[in-house]
Structure 1
Amino acid sequence: MTLHTIDTGFFKLDGGAMFGVVPKSIWQKTNPADDNNMCTWAMRCLLVEDAGRLILIDTGIGNKQSEKFFSHYYLHGDATMDSSLKKLGFHRDDITDVFLTHLHFDHVGGAVERNGETLAPAFKNATYWSNEKHWEWAINPNEREKASFLKENIMPIQESGQLKFIDVRDGVQFTDNFNVHFVSGHTDSMMLPLIGYKGRKILYMADLLPSVGHLPVPYVMAYDMFPLTTISERKKYWAEAVANDYVLYLEHDPINECCTVQETDKGIRVKEAFKLNEL
């Protein structure tokens, strides 16, 4: 097995929304905001080469939305899905599986492309993986989350016949070295890959841990549907991460790709931060 970081650029979101009830005077020390109170976030995906499969975890925001839509998110940076794959000697047509942690637009937008008036899967040879509980949650969204679940990002996947569902069983096996855990504080049945790699366990954090600045347990995003559930899930996985020396792979941290954590007198905090290729 080989793991590769896939950078797809940066975007901006409101700092207050990203840190919920935490005061700006505290969170801006780790995630400084611009004059509009917007903080920069990565859209960092992961490519897994394993037993003849090329598995892409999440797809970034993509490029098919309107100029008005993108103007709200201040996309920047030179990296794209295609440029990151090309650096590794791959093309999107080589991808065999697209594993979607959840269906919010910054995770699934790149899964579908626009050709004229037609929307189709951007990875034409891939099987797309979600789970039935989260899929139903996304296609029948609640009022708070509706703006994050865009039908043009979701329905073309199902209509193509390329969609399959993973059983919602915590720890279910996806490949020999890749198990799936489920959390529901951020959104119902978000999937966290736990991957065995080089004698370590890599936990792909998706939106359970957006950045190292979110490590204090109460630092829960205003975007989370069920904040108290998020807190409970964080306590569980933070304790597991310390006990098992997990490497936490960070999808949205603008600086840190990975970290390990340790118990301190202030709670669980960063032990080491590093790039995936330094493992």
Structure 2
Amino acid sequence: MAESEGKEMSFLAHLEELRWHLVRSFIAIVLVAVAVFIFQKDIYENFLLAHRDPNFLTYRAFCNFFSAFGVESGFCNVEFSGELQSLKVTQQFMNSIWTSLILGLIVAFPYVLWEIWRFIAPGLHEQEVKKSRGFILIASLLFFVGVLFSFFVILPMSVYFFYNYEITDMIQNQFTMDSHIGLVTNTLLGVAIMFELPVIIYFLSKIGLVTPAFLKRYRKHALVLVLILAAIITPPDVASQVIVSIPILILYEISIKVSKRVIKNQEKKYGK
């Protein structure tokens, strides 16, 4: 009986420790969110609404690229007609709060990872701790590369396409601020998480749920899924889908090598 009580207390102690890691992570997110809320005007105009500017860096880059090959491109005369609409009394306020929290999570991501690492590290062997000290740096780097890729590549193409797409001129596009900001924040967060694929594969390989053979066997299936995903988050043209697919496929190949390294280290450790 005493033994079971000891185990129960140990389990509760772990839950208590996890709770404080989560609390500190949430506090970090909220602190960043408060800062975003304070400077929301500049953040909205220069970041969240930046893709509505016809002179946005990516539009000019695409224009120069196509012009260099003598190809006419709509990116050379980008236009966004009409202003975004707020249709509810509380819409702007609620949108600014929710957006602040999402941006808070994105900015505070390395700290949240660090808190997760502090919770996991005591359960690892000393050798495992040494080998995985670069986890936070690598995971954070991949995350922010995903943020930059989505901001400068995926979002400009998506915004340009959806703002200029029309079934018939009898239907007028009148977008709300929620739809535009939602597109931006969801894409930023979604693509950033997608860039964490090698890290996710590392842990799945560590616990034996994924192997290099499995990843190689389903490489063709993964290619199809990547193309479908690219078709969903980009305009439906081949060039855009290829641009988005290439880094994801590169990450998939890196993940295979990561999984192979994990399995090799485990076999060496257990003498298999």
* TM-score band w.r.t. shorter chain: under 0.3
Question: Which has the higher relative contact order, 1 or 2, with Cα contacts under 8 A spaced 6 or more apart?
Answer: 2
Choose between structure 1 and 2: higher helix proportion: 2
Choose between structure 1 and 2: higher strand proportion: 1
TM-score, scaled relative to structure 2: 0.25
